[in-house]
Amino acid sequence: MNARDVAYSGIFIAIIAVSAQISLNIGEVPVTLQVFAVLLTGLLLGAKLGFLTAGLYDVAGAVGLPVFAGFTGGFAHLYGPTGGYLMAFPIASFIAGLFAERFKSPYLWIAGSLVALGVIYLLGWLRLGLYLGGNFAKALYIGVLPFVPLDIAKALIAVGTARAAKRALPWL
């Protein structure tokens, strides 16, 4: 890891943190722009640095920095109803980054972003289901299904943004 990687990681941790503050509370799981930011992180930084960056975002929040939705932080968030989503962010960023590194086709970038989104949903749904006392059906209805259309749009926008950024800033 070099100074450039550290700088990019810090910038993208800040982007994810800011995206968490753009939120709309609709229940146990708020609507935020984090999915967009996490996917963009992987698409632009690549698999390894994207994973590390999203992981450091989780660590920053876990130690109490107010980077989670509502300017909150603390380890309890990783154990709470949204903990599965947060813990999935590094994996999702890795997957999106892997597709961006390996393929040139925008359709495969979209496919990778949708797979990454599926991982966020899977881990988020599992944790929320456990939080709800094993009521996985309720977790699906309140923690996954309402978000699918918006998150697909966020994934498409993240791919478009990343591709435009790569064209405009080839050194990225």
- The CATH number linked to 112 is 1.10.1760.20
Domain tally for the chain? Answer: 1
Burial environment of residue 39 by CB neighbours within 10 A (0 to 12, 13 to 18, 19 or more): buried
pLDDT by residue for the chain (172 residues), tens only, comes to 899 999 999 999 999 999 999 988 776 667 899 999 999 999 999 999 999 999 999 999 999 999 998 899 999 999 999 999 999 999 999 999 999 999 999 999 999 999 999 999 999 999 999 999 999 999 999 999 999 999 999 999 999 999 999 999 887 7
pLDDT of residue 23: 81
pLDDT of residue 28: 64
Report pTM.
0.95
Domain of 82, in residue numbers: 3-168
Q: 3-class DSSP state for residue 143? A: helix
What one-character-per-residue DSSP string does 75-90 give?
THHHHSTTHHHHHHHH
Q: Which residues pair with 31 in a beta bridge?
A: 24
